[in-house]
Amino acid sequence: MKEVIKKEKDVFLKKYKKTILFFVYEFIFLIFIDFFNQYLVLRSLNPFDYISKKIIIFNLVWIFTILIVLFMLKPKVRKIFSLIINIVLSILGIVNFFMYAYFHSIFSFKDILMSGNGLAFINSIFKFIDLKLILFVLICLLFIILIFKTKSKELFSFKLKQLLVILFIIVVLFGLRFFVVKKITGINDGWDSRAVISTDSNYYTNWIEPTRIIRICGSYEYYLKDFYNSFLKKDNVFEAKQQVKKYIEKNSNKKTDNKYNGVFKDKNLVFVMMESEDDWMVNEKVTPTMYEMMHHGFNFVNHYSPGYVTGDTANTEFIANTGIYPSINKLSPNYAYVNNTYPYSIANIFKNNGYTVNSFHRSNGFIYNRANMHISLGYEKYFNYSEMGISDENIDLDRYIIKNGYKYIVSSDKFMSFIITYSPHDPYSYDKIECSLNIDEIKKLYPNVTNEEELCSYSSSRETDNMFKLLLENLKKNDLLEDTIIVAFSDHRNKDISLNGEDEKLNKTVFFIYDYSMKENKIDTITSSVDILPTVLNVFGIDSKYVYAGNDALNNKDGYVIFKDYTYYDGKDVKPLSKDLYEVVNYSSNLLISDYYKE
């Protein structure tokens, strides 16, 4: 009997040896992919750092699900399906490598809508290529070829017994997943608990911080649920509208009443968002014009530009224009909520007060969907480089926004113009015109600095300063300087260099309001991008019936900065959100979800 069993076993192994190897190779490859993604976050090869009960269960559930699907397919279809999965996972691993190196995060499916804008970063990411990435690519190629070349036989037929066994395995697998999800989401310490921010429940339920989520549930649960959250999950519009109504009723009595109220009433406004203008890039030597401007008007010395959604530039652009937060960690409003109604935006409010409102930037309107979004925000026209008459040669030089676009910026007796600069955008290299044009002068200012990126950061910042210099000269020449206020703020920090010792989360940037005739008023209040619009409305004496998520920085001593992981900075410590601050974030999200003012 034993000999018969052994013989049958030998025959089976001989017949299905390669088929078994196919599944073994696939299993190892899928484990390897997750290990690489975990490594990107942990930066550790210690298996004990990698091992987590939750990750193991999630990975086994989804890996065995993939293997079951492959088991049920015919050999040729199996190979094609396997090839597609393995190539996609390899590409996602490569994308994660660059995403983590550049943004300290990993890929989310909501990033796909911003992928066209990612072309601007291509030159920057090449410097991150190293041996680890090369080894990853080589191992992936080896496995893909090995799996594809391994012949496998047909295994599944729709017989009741085989079908029941597979159904039983699937029920067990997803029962395990349900059990783990229930265990994760069952933890609830309340928003006032100091410990809440560190719970897996907070991160998994609110789907915040991809690098943290992948350490909770592994790559495959992350990819599948992230796809669902990004594209398939439906928001409750009715509930969102009710929540907005309650919040407005509770907070509509906030009044702006201080000595600066209306100090710039009926003056013109040039609203400037500065690309990558980190605070260390602005000083008396490098940016003398900006430095002088900061000493006339209001200089907010504790300003921060946190990111909430993919695309930090579009992120700050939206916040500064609307005074609310985007739906944190969801699709960018420039895509998800481009058709919303924004009567509370700075463009619409100034337009309703008799101003001509236009926006200006070097890029085509498809970048961040600006051509459509700016119309939704209330701007009459979005002027790109060609519409301002800027040549391709000078497209990256901020000064040409004034040289060519000035006549459109001051197109009426009462104007509000929104300018988005570009020159300090990375990469920072000598072969870029915005660096090479000013580099000799910068090298004289910093003879001991040899770092190319640092020198070019200063040089490109000088180019933005040249734009402000030209703007002031033109305004003075046309007798408009005394009647024009300039509000300038950074979209985000310099992503390649940090000279102030701050991390990716907490980074100071620049925000000032310039008035030709006013002396410097240094404002120490903690501010962030969401506070810009309420502050501007205050100094222009514009009464708004709308409730903003931000605060007037001149009427508020207790400032704070909210981050996308549901923590906030109060000037001393980073803490979990209080219930009140959570309501502020939730109000912004519900305002967008419900399109509250559409009717």
What one-character-per-residue DSSP string does 152-202 give? --------HHHHHHHHHHHHHHHHHHHHHHHHHHT----TT-TTGGG-HHH
Say how far apart CA 344 and CA 77 lie, in whole Å: 54
pLDDT range class, residue 7, cuts 50, 70, 90:
low
pLDDT band, residue 49 (cuts 50/70/90):
confident
For 292, residues 6+ apart whose C-beta sits below 8 A from its C-beta are none
User: How many angstroms separate the CA atoms of 83 and 144, rounded?
Assistant: 7
pLDDT at 156: 79
The DSSP code sequence of 221-232 is HHHHHHHIIIII
Q: Whole-angstrom Cα distance, residue 380 to residue 454?
A: 38
Q: Per-residue confidence at 195, pLDDT binned at 50, 70, 90?
A: very low
120-177 pLDDT, tens per residue? 556 666 778 889 999 999 999 999 999 999 999 888 777 888 889 899 999 999 999 9
Q: Which residues pair with 268 in a beta bridge?
A: 484
CA end-to-end span of the chain, whole Å? 82
d(CA 293, CA 273): 15
Quote the CA–CA distance of 302 and 525 in Å, as a whole number. Answer: 6
Query: For residues 253 and 232, what is the distance between their CA atoms, to the nearest angstrom?
Result: 38
Map out the domains of the chain as residue ranges: 2-232, 265-594
Higher pLDDT, 370 or 233: 370
**Cα(550)–Cα(599) distance, integer angstroms:** 24
Percent of the chain with pLDDT over 90: 64
Of residues 219 and 187, more confidence is placed in: 219
Q: Identify the band that residue 194 occupies on the pLDDT scale cut at 50, 70 and 90.
A: very low
Q: What is the mean pLDDT of residues 345-372?
A: 94
Which pLDDT belongs to residue 193? 38
User: Average pLDDT of 339-366?
Assistant: 95
Check: CB of residue 276 under 8 Å from CB of residue 493.
Answer: yes
- Region at 115 (left for phi over 0; alpha for psi -120 to 50; beta for the rest): alpha
Strands 356-360 and 382-383: parallel
CA 71, 74, 75, 80 torsion-angle sign: negative
**pLDDT digits 0-9 by tens, 234-270:** 778 889 999 999 999 998 876 666 789 999 999 999 9
Name the pLDDT band for 542 (thresholds 50, 70, 90).
very high
265-594: what fold? Answer: Alkaline Phosphatase, subunit A (3.40.720)
**CA–CA dist 454, 570 (Å, integer):** 30
Provide, rounded to the nearest whole percent, the portion of the chain with pLDDT above 70. Answer: 91
Closest residue by Cα to residue 212 from 222, 225, 220 = 222
